[in-house]
Amino acid sequence: MSVQSIDKASHIILVAHEHPDADSLGSACAFYSHLLRLSKKVTLFCSTDIGDKNLLFLPWSDKICHTFPLDADLVMSFDCGSFKRLGITYTGELINFDHHISNEHYGTYNYVNVNALSTTQVIYEWFIANDIKINGKMAQSLYAGLLDDTSCFRDITPAVLHMGSSLIALGANHEACVKALFGCHSLASLRLKAIMLREMELVHDGSVAVFKVTQQMLGESGAVLRDCKHPLEVSLRLKVVTTALLAVELKSGGVKISLRCSEALNASEILQHYGGGGHASRAGARLANVTIDEAVEKVLSQIRNIAQGS
Ligand SMILES: [Mn+2]
């Protein structure tokens, strides 16, 4: 049982995935609070920079370190579908909390609920099932992950609304979370949004919106990778668009693909062909050794094949 593993561990490492979002980091921060109460030695680890400085409002996020400790005897991972994205070389006991349909069940214990709308929902339910008291800091972290992954409660289930109201009662600050996660647009992100919407193409009878973001566009606007996300979501509000495809040229080479599907198509299934994954409605992948045009063409032909049922 995972609770016993936590009890007997002396140094527990909480791992957020590379370039973490509010769900991954919020989950890890909630556990950080809980484990400190148990007087455990805890390390909050991420293999990359946080990137999005707005996430530093999460309690304990300032404790994050980028060197994996040698004396780790238990690892807990959050919101990460594959072991590779953890960026660690560790072979000991591991507890895997996630909600991605593509999760590879790489843990000793795997708490993967694909019906949960965030990993913080999986953690919240685990805390409740194990009679663990949720303090104000934990509530704030769990709420932040839920808010981000549901796009500020655009996606809901009865369980999610119940969880949200319970966390507010336990001390989560809705206004602070909204401000940090949705209310802080940079001028650079607005400039990029204008460029992206101007260059957007509609293909497959207008049902697929395609965005290609080059390093030059990022340089011109001063924006960063995560700033590409919002225009992608916005395109799905066009009546005819059911799928939105974003391809970003990476500085390190290769192309990062993000896919959003609002109906019929399964984004995770489409990108699994390219080593990616995620959820039915949103997924991501990285393609190496291709130009941005080649990457888009590959994904579009995959979408065409699946849509035609071949
Ligand atoms: Mn998530």
**Centroid of ligand 1 to alpha carbon of 104 (angstroms):** 15
**Centroid of ligand 1 to alpha carbon of 29 (angstroms):** 14
**Centroid of ligand 1 to alpha carbon of 132 (angstroms):** 22
Can you give the pLDDT at residue 183?
Answer: 85
**Centroid of ligand 1 to alpha carbon of 247 (angstroms):** 21
Q: Is the model's pLDDT at 249 over the cut of 60?
A: yes
Residue 212: count other Cβ atoms within 10 Å of its Cβ. 19
Q: Is the model's pLDDT at 244 over the cut of 90?
A: yes
CB 238 within 8 A of CB 270: no
Whether 176 and 203 map to the same domain: the answer is no
Whether 129 and 247 map to the same domain: the answer is no
Whether 178 and 245 map to the same domain: the answer is no
Whether 163 and 193 map to the same domain: the answer is no
Q: How far is CA 53 from the centre of its chain?
A: 15
Q: Dump pLDDT digits (tens) for 135-154.
A: 999 999 999 999 999 999 98
Q: Is the model's pLDDT at 1 over the cut of 80?
A: no
Mean pLDDT value across the chain: 94
Can you give the pLDDT at residue 309?
Answer: 73
Whether 62 and 199 map to the same domain: the answer is no
Whether 262 and 119 map to the same domain: the answer is no
Kindly state the tokens that stand for 11.
């140094």
**Centroid of ligand 1 to alpha carbon of 220 (angstroms):** 31
Whether 108 and 29 map to the same domain: the answer is yes
Can you give the pLDDT at residue 307?
Answer: 79
- Structural domain count, the chain: 2
More confident residue, 216 or 306: 216
Whether 158 and 249 map to the same domain: the answer is no
CB 89 within 8 A of CB 106: no
Whether 11 and 66 map to the same domain: the answer is yes
Helix (H, G, I), strand (E, B) or coil at 158: helix
**Centroid of ligand 1 to alpha carbon of 41 (angstroms):** 26
Identify the CATH number of the domain in which residue 166 sits.
3.90.1640.10
**Centroid of ligand 1 to alpha carbon of 146 (angstroms):** 8
Q: End-to-end distance of the chain based on CA atoms, in angstroms?
A: 44
Q: Of 134, 162, 182, which marks where a domain is finished?
A: 182
Kindly state the tokens that stand for 288.
């190496």
Can you give the pLDDT at residue 47?
Answer: 95
Q: Of 182, 212, 230, which marks where a domain is finished?
A: 182
Domain that holds residue 288: 187-307
15: amino acid identity, one letter: V
**Centroid of ligand 1 to alpha carbon of 110 (angstroms):** 15
**Centroid of ligand 1 to alpha carbon of 199 (angstroms):** 29
Nearest residue to 22 (alpha-carbon basis) of 70, 79, 77, 76? 79
Q: Is the model's pLDDT at 156 over the cut of 60?
A: yes
What are the b/e assignments for 31-67, b being 16+ CB within 10 Å? bbbbbeeeebebbbbbbeebebebbebbbbbeebeee
**Centroid of ligand 1 to alpha carbon of 27 (angstroms):** 9
Can you give the pLDDT at residue 52?
Answer: 78
C-alpha angle 270-118-2 in degrees, rounded to nearest 5: 110
**Centroid of ligand 1 to alpha carbon of 310 (angstroms):** 31
Whether 291 and 222 map to the same domain: the answer is yes
**Centroid of ligand 1 to alpha carbon of 82 (angstroms):** 13
**Where do we find the tokens 């979370």?**
177
Q: Of 165, 182, 199, which marks where a domain is finished?
A: 182
**Centroid of ligand 1 to alpha carbon of 282 (angstroms):** 10
Can you give the pLDDT at residue 185?
Answer: 82
From 47-51, 57-61, 254-258, the region with the lowest mean pLDDT: 47-51
Per-residue confidence band for 310, with pLDDT thresholds at 50, 70 and 90: low
**Centroid of ligand 1 to alpha carbon of 23 (angstroms):** 5
Across the chain, the runs of DSSP E, i.e. the strands, are 11-16, 41-45, 74-78, 94-98, 109-112, 201-203, 208-213, 243-249, 255-261, 277-278, 282-287
Whether 176 and 61 map to the same domain: the answer is yes
**Centroid of ligand 1 to alpha carbon of 149 (angstroms):** 6
Q: Dump pLDDT digits (tens) for 76-116.
A: 999 999 999 999 999 999 999 999 999 999 999 999 999 99
Identify the CATH number of the domain in which residue 219 sits.
3.10.310.30
**Centroid of ligand 1 to alpha carbon of 187 (angstroms):** 27
270: amino acid identity, one letter: I
CB 27 within 8 A of CB 145: yes
**Centroid of ligand 1 to alpha carbon of 33 (angstroms):** 20
**Centroid of ligand 1 to alpha carbon of 278 (angstroms):** 9
Q: Which helix (H) or strand (E) holds 304?
A: helix 292-307
Whether 170 and 225 map to the same domain: the answer is no
